[in-house]
Amino acid sequence: MTAVRVFGVCAALAVGLGLFGLITNPQPLRKIIAFNILGSGVFLLFGIVGRHGAASGIGNDPVPQALVITGVVVAFAATALAIALLLQLFQRAGSATLRNGAPRSAGSDPPGG
């Protein structure tokens, strides 16, 4: 079970790293990447829990595996939507910033987070 612990620490630190990047990095694209790192850490933690449930000749509980596969695909769909929103923001405002007072073309709503 050493391997599981090593990867467990790795996953926990990935969650921390993603959280830090999400809060401190001002660029939206970097926030999306940080959120994906956070997500991959959470998925790994789930996989580690599943590894503890190895039984019947299967090395990793298949139900968490299936849930993680579903999760990865849904995370991808959310990332694609977030990137599309970001590119729209960039196209309309001329800069990809989430700050309210940023220089931008007048007359449009302040972008939400």
Partner 1 sequence: MSVATIFEIALAAVVLGLGIWTTAVRDTYSATVGFVVYGLLVALIWVRLDAVDVALTEAAISGGLGGVLLLGAAARVRDAGFMAAEAPGKAARVSAAALSMLTAAALTVAVFLLPDSASTLAPAVVAHAWATGLTNPVTNVLMAFRAMDTMLEKVVLLLALVGVWSLARDSAWGGRPGPRHQADPNGVLVFLARLLPPIGMVVGIYIFWTGADHPGGAFQGGAILASMWLLAIMAGLTDTPPVNRRRLRLLLVAGPGLFLVVGLGGLWFGAAFLAYSPALAKPALLLAGTPERSAQQ
Q: Which of residues 30-69 bind partner 1 (CB under 8 A)?
A: 30, 32-34, 36-37, 40, 43-45, 47-63, 65-69
What gap in Å lies between CA 52 and CA 12, rounded to an integer? 16
Q: Say if CB 41 and CB 15 are below 8 A apart.
A: yes
Position 86 contacts partner 1 (CB under 8 A): yes
Extended beta strands in 17-78, E state: none
Rounded-to-integer distance, Cα 79 and Cα 82, Å: 5
Count of residues interacting with partner 1 (CB under 8 A): 80
Q: Which of 23, 105, 107, 112 binds partner 1 (CB under 8 A)?
A: 23
Shortest Cβ distance from residue 1 to partner 1 (Å)? 7
Nearest approach in angstroms of CB 102 to partner 1 is 8
- Cβ contact 58:51 at 8 Å: no
- In the complex, what is the shortest distance from the CB of residue 106 to partner 1, in angstroms, rounded to a whole number? 19
